[in-house]
Amino acid sequence: MLIATFAWVLIVMPAELMSAIAFLTGALVAMIASCQSVSKGSALQREILKRGKIAQGRVLRIWRPPVFGSFTRVYFEFQPCEHGSLVRACHVDRRPFGELRASLPAVGSEVSVRYMPENPTKAVIAKLVSRFTD
């Protein structure tokens, strides 16, 4: 019965309506995937802040994507205790679009960094994550 009803709907439904339904379904799936990605990224930042080792770093660049809804990226470098070479990383500032950006560190400034010892490229700028742990 269900298959017969579905087949009837496909025969009667105009192409424009099917296109609209397909578009809206795709948009919904993209929105859900985006929300899950942001949640996982925020959880990873909190985990690094909680379990990571401390190091001093220097801000190399700040990039604000021109696309609405994108997060600002702060590129920095630091030297982990376990490695002799500098490591470059990117901190994604997950603040909402409307918040003031005055608290971002300036390019060239020293920042406190937390990183995972087993993978130093997983690193965050500590002061930019601490507001999420309150």
Question: And the tokens for 35?
Answer: 């929300």
pLDDT, position 134: 41
Do residues 67 and 16 both lie within one domain?
no
What are the tens digits of pLDDT across the range 73-107? Answer: 899 999 998 777 899 999 888 776 556 555 788 89
Average pLDDT over residues 14-30: 81
Q: What is the mean pLDDT of the chain?
A: 79
Domain presence at residue 100: yes
Do residues 30 and 60 both lie within one domain?
no
What are the tens digits of pLDDT across the range 58-70? Answer: 999 998 888 766 7
pLDDT, position 26: 87
Domain presence at residue 41: no
Q: At 97, which CATH number?
A: 2.40.50
Average pLDDT over residues 33-47: 78
Number of domains in the chain: 2
By residue range, what is the domain housing residue 123? 47-132
Do residues 30 and 61 both lie within one domain?
no
SS3 of the chain: helix, strand, coil, percent, to 5 = 40, 30, 30
Q: Is the pLDDT of residue 109 over 80?
A: yes
CA quadruple 105, 106, 107, 110: dihedral sign: negative
| pLDDT band at 33; cut points 50, 70, 90 | confident
Do residues 23 and 64 both lie within one domain?
no
Do residues 56 and 16 both lie within one domain?
no
Do residues 24 and 51 both lie within one domain?
no
